Structure 1
Amino acid sequence: MAKTILVVEDDVDLLDLYEEVLQANAYNVVKATNGLEAISKYKKAQPDLVVMDGNMSEMDGYEAFSKIIKIDKDARVVIVTGYSNSDPKSKKALEQGLIAIISKPVGIDTLLDVVKKYSLHKPILKNNI
């Protein structure tokens, strides 16, 4: 069964590129362009992995992650950012259970490696969201 990846990126061209690459590699893709939309789509899709931009309008990736992890403590989320891992937001998110922070720019090979590595084992939710 194909893994479902929620990709959250406010750059629509980049979002479409990620979708195209992931679909070509047999992943189901759900797209969102901001943190608020990501939370809504997470609840509906229950993806195996979320790959999310850290810096977006309306709600950034870090705030969206903190809300997603409250909905599903086993959520597997990777944030893509131009900031360092020692940034206070990054440190806090890692302490809350963020599985990885990937530095921009993200090439296609890196994207595929990250998705393959981190979408492996997502427990089935016991409660409906």
Structure 2
Amino acid sequence: MGDTIKILYIEDDQDIRTITQIALDNENFELLMYESGKLALLEAQSLKPDLFLFDVMMPDLDGPSTLKKLRHYPHLINIPVIFMTAKIQPSELNEYLEMGAIGVISKPFDPMSLADEIIALYNSQ
């Protein structure tokens, strides 16, 4: 594939973070993991990801709201985003795509195919 994809990953569920970390533990990815959008926003100025991977439903600040706040930083305006959610409705899917999402991964996801799915979505944009 070539270059490593640096992913800013936000997920409030520790178990899902661990599964994702294991699934993406290879030379194709570098994960910057946060348990909340608020924590990621505290370091937003210094973050330089290639891709956002956000859970949709989180306490305090959900994935779409986190994305809107991160888009205020000029260096993060054009970073592609993939949302992960257990509850995907067609109307929500359209909303995420209008926000600039390059894809939505439904939970529960298959850890064995997660890396390939992310690479395919990342390369599709």
Correspondence 1:30-41 to 2 at 5 A: 30-41=32-43
Alpha-carbon RMSD across the aligned residues, in angstroms, is 2.3
Q: TM-score, normalised by structure 1?
A: 0.77
Q: Does 1:76 align with 2:84?
A: no
Q: CA deviation at 1:43?
A: 3.6
Q: CA deviation at 1:102?
A: 1.6
Please say which of residues 36-45 and 76-85 is displaced more in the overlay. 36-45
Q: CA deviation at 1:121?
A: 8.4
Aligned residues with identical type, % of pairs:
24
- In structure 1, runs of 5+ residues without a counterpart are 123-129
Q: Does 1:115 align with 2:114?
A: no
* Cα deviation 1:64-92 (Å, max 9, x = unaligned): 1222233332111111112224244x433
2:22 paired residue among 20, 28, 42: 20
d(CA) in 2 for partners of 1:81, 1:2:
25
Q: Does 1:102 align with 2:108?
A: no
Q: TM-score, normalised by structure 2?
A: 0.79
Aligned length: 121
Q: 1:27 to 1:69 in 2, by over 3 A?
A: same
Q: CA deviation at 1:25?
A: 4.2
* Cα deviation 1:73-114 (Å, max 9, x = unaligned): 2111111112224244x4333212122112111111332123
Q: 1:40 to 1:23 in 2, by over 3 A?
A: farther
- In structure 2, runs of 5+ residues without a counterpart are none
